[in-house]
Structure 1
Amino acid sequence: MPKKKKNSQSFGSIAVAVVLAISGFVVTTCNRKITGDKSTPATSKSSNKKNNQSSTAAAARLLAEDFETGSQNNYNSSEVALSSGNWYFKDALLGSLVEDHKTGRQALRIRDNGEVGMSFDIAVKGTVTATLKYALYGDDQRGSWELWASVNKGQRYFRVGDAVDATSSSLKTATFTVVATGNIRFEIRKTDAGKGRINFDAFRVTAGGKVSPVTPAAGKPVGGDDDDMLLGNPSGANASLVMANNYLMDKGYYKLSYNREKGTPNWVAWHISRRDLGDMARANDFRPDADLPENWYQASQSSYIGSGFDRGHNCPSGDRTATRDANEATFLMTNMIPQAPNHNQHLWKNLEDYTRSLVMDGNEVYVIMGSYGSGGVGSKGLAKTIDHRNINVPDHIWKVIVVLPEGNNDLQRISKSTRIIAVNTPNKNDVNTKWTAYLTTIDEIEQATHYKLLDKVPAAVRQELVKKVDTGG
């Protein structure tokens, strides 16, 4: 789910193109169709009877799940073995009551903001069509849901088509079309916070279908206002394998330059507005980044354990609390550096909290954070590397924050009077907890890193901004 942008348009039929350079996936979503259902009996998955369909039609069936097998009689989160494979359930169960609207013996039932998704992939090549029957449970009045998909083993999901409103206890069929090359998995999400429960049945994925023309995702202007790298690319990072130590990655909610040799990002850039700040709880699902090239070393959730250093976020979890996907994206290990615990939990937290307070006071900010050098001092003393020398421990951590009043045409609004907060700090456990003690200039950070920050800002303006030292007030 991409980060929401200014002047977002209402969602109608949406086509989303997701290009993943590493894996070669190209994904496009298109129109959703809703049709009434006359309770046609579901096809049995276990039947050994010969099928009268043509061999071509039979080969077109990629997945069939009728939720007839498996057992899940409560709403506890769990992994459930169904006929098609293992699925994870959250606030969901398999219901067989009279109130459960189904085509067979039982159906999927989801409550609250629950979700049910595949824990496995299916191989696809080209256009595929997904259909799913749905109805309100019992006499419940209303609910809404969405179909989501992932083409990188559940690392990151995108919404397929539009949200669906459930307003009837009669089964209807929703149809979605996706273009993908490689592997894909799906997830069903109930998206309203109401008390209405929704039944789902007869999930089918087949090859083929008609895709509408590709149009830009609503509310996400390419390279425009709120783009995470609107102000520039400090190191000239590129998404090319030959740039292994300056490898550009777009994680949807922030962008970064990754360093294969160090096992950490060189820098991470992101934008924060009030639309990014909500009530989503901290996900805490630290995990490897499947978007790294296959033969590269990947830090895991346990790589930092026992090292004396925190898994320090570059783009903070607290800056992405509007949606679950946004928050979960911040826990990818490509967003982490080994950070001294007191530095992370006090000094850096204070700066992050202050930054969000600026946003809530009517500003928007562009942030870029990075690190350099080798040799930090954690809770167990000095270390230059961790995780069997696979991850470098930086000796300095820096951040630059550009503060603007909420508005449009951000690049054009940056002037010599724009507030710039630049800090450069030692990665040590005995740091001063006040970030104001480490205020510096962009110029000083550039000399240490050999980067060129704010390179998209007009030269005359940039020349003044790189010399400014903030007052901290």
Structure 2
Amino acid sequence: MSRAKISAIGLASATVGASGALLYHSYSDGSKPKNAAAVPPAPGISTKALPVQTSAPLQIFPASSDLVSLNHNGILKYGSPGPVLDELKSLALWGAYDRRTRNPWWVAEHITSESVARSDAKRNNSAFSEDKTIPLAFRARLKDYSHSGYDRGHQVPAANANWSQQAMDDTFKLTNMCPQVGEGFNRHYWSRFENFCRNLTQKYPSVRIVTGPLYLPKKDDEGKWRVSYEVIGDPPNVSVPTHFFKIIFAENEDTTNEDTSKVAVGAFVLPNASIDNKKLLADFEVDIEIVERASGLQFAEQLALERRKRLCGEVKCDVSVRNFREASAKPKL
């Protein structure tokens, strides 16, 4: 990633230190991801806890040890502490919930040229709601957002679920929300970014998107890297992300041969701050490995490197673009 790109992100997120954060995660070893989360749409509407798989504790002492009073196999006699990831599955999205931050780890969606053209749902018929499948002790609550100064920011947009009222209702659960700066971000630049993703279906009939929060470090006055973020609620309950990511997989119609068909991939990191609408989306483009290192997630295990092409090399990455049939990444000669 160029120094110019890092500087551009830093200017847009001066209050949260995006420049330093992305520098922190820019490694030069050239390693590539080995694993990723598949992102197909889920037909059911349910949420369940994903228990951590625990194996027998390591045999620290030899079998002949004189410490016979120790029950090595009973270390977890009263249960494993976790962590437990709550799986989010509904008509509109698939994801995982982070009990520690009370935000989603990530949410994935699949939109098509057909799905975004539908208008079978009305936003006014949906209401924000707590997800009661999450244990109360770890649940984000409506009152946490009250007078917090932050919007309840959709990760999977409601407008992407126009094809079903139930699907749209699913997007209004707080497990699909994060605290977002309203003015200049959630209501403006982020909203235009979401529209950019929908408009991609003009060129790519199938678009898969993974979205989630980040908590990135910034350098303090002493030159030390620190992670610092606000927590809203009384008592404090929901963490406020410093940044958000979107990973986009745009597929052409010809996907019959998955061994050779190309997929346009774009990875973007935006600060949770007001952004000028004139700012190019391409200024927030990063290598997918940067998002993986920052989030601890992996996105493209099942997509070979030779099948990937750069999204911003295919289309103009600008939130002002409304017609991708006429706009392209390369200017006409």
TM-score, L = length of structure 1:
0.44
2:196 to 350, 354, 360: 354
> How many Å apart are 1:344 and its aligned residue?
1.0
2:160 to 279, 297, 319: 319
Cα distance change on mapping 1:321 and 1:444 into 2, 3 Å:
same
- Name the amino acid aligned to 1:425: L
Rounded Cα–Cα distance in structure 1 between residues aligned with 2:159 and 2:215: 27
Rounded Cα–Cα distance in structure 2 between residues aligned with 1:423 and 1:362: 18
1:424 to 261, 264, 269: 269
Rounded Cα–Cα distance in structure 1 between residues aligned with 2:39 and 2:211: 17
1:437 aligns to 2:283 (yes or no): yes
- Name the amino acid aligned to 2:179: P
Rounded Cα–Cα distance in structure 1 between residues aligned with 2:215 and 2:230: 9
Rounded Cα–Cα distance in structure 1 between residues aligned with 2:204 and 2:233: 42
1:267 aligns to 2:106 (yes or no): yes
Q: Which runs of 5+ in 2 are unaligned?
A: 1-37, 43-47, 53-79, 219-227, 318-328
> C-alpha deviations, 1:286-339, integer Å up to 9, x for none?
0011222x3443223332121111100011001100111111110011000011
Q: Which runs of 5+ in 1 are unaligned?
A: 1-224, 230-236, 377-381
Q: What pairs up with 1:91-106 in 2 under 5 angstroms?
A: none
Say what the alpha-carbon RMSD is for the aligned residues: 3.0
1:400 aligns to 2:254 (yes or no): no
The match for 2:58 is none
The match for 1:179 is none
Q: What's the secondary structure of 2:187's corresponding residue? A: helix
Q: Is the 8 A contact 1:245 1:261 kept in 2?
A: no
> C-alpha deviations, 1:151-196, integer Å up to 9, x for none?
xxxxxxxxxxxxxxxxxxxxxxxxxxxxxxxxxxxxxxxxxxxxxx
> C-alpha deviations, 1:388-418, integer Å up to 9, x for none?
3210111111101111124555855653xx3
1:228 to 20, 33, 41: 41
What is the aligned-residue identity percentage? 23
Cα distance change on mapping 1:414 and 1:447 into 2, 3 Å:
farther
Q: What pairs up with 1:59-208 in 2 under 5 angstroms?
A: none
Cα distance change on mapping 1:301 and 1:446 into 2, 3 Å:
same
Q: What's the secondary structure of 2:159's corresponding residue? A: helix
Rounded Cα–Cα distance in structure 2 between residues aligned with 1:443 and 1:301: 34
Q: Is the 8 A contact 1:374 1:393 kept in 2?
A: no
Rounded Cα–Cα distance in structure 1 between residues aligned with 2:312 and 2:293: 15
- Name the amino acid aligned to 1:432: D
> How many Å apart are 1:383 and its aligned residue?
5.4
> How many Å apart are 1:370 and its aligned residue?
1.2
Q: Which moved more, 1:335-344 or 1:383-392?
A: 383-392
Cα distance change on mapping 1:411 and 1:285 into 2, 3 Å:
farther
Q: What's the secondary structure of 1:447's corresponding residue? A: helix
1:257 aligns to 2:257 (yes or no): no
Q: What's the secondary structure of 2:244's corresponding residue? A: strand
Q: Is the 8 A contact 2:204 2:250 kept in 1?
A: no
The match for 2:21 is none
Rounded Cα–Cα distance in structure 2 between residues aligned with 1:275 and 1:297: 37
**Higher percent of residues as strand:** 1
Cα distance change on mapping 1:413 and 1:253 into 2, 3 Å:
farther
The match for 1:240 is 51
> How many Å apart are 1:457 and its aligned residue?
1.6
> How many Å apart are 1:244 and its aligned residue?
4.1
Q: What's the secondary structure of 1:302's corresponding residue? A: helix
Rounded Cα–Cα distance in structure 2 between residues aligned with 1:468 and 1:403: 8
Aligned length: 230
Specify the structure having the higher radius of gyration (Cα): 1
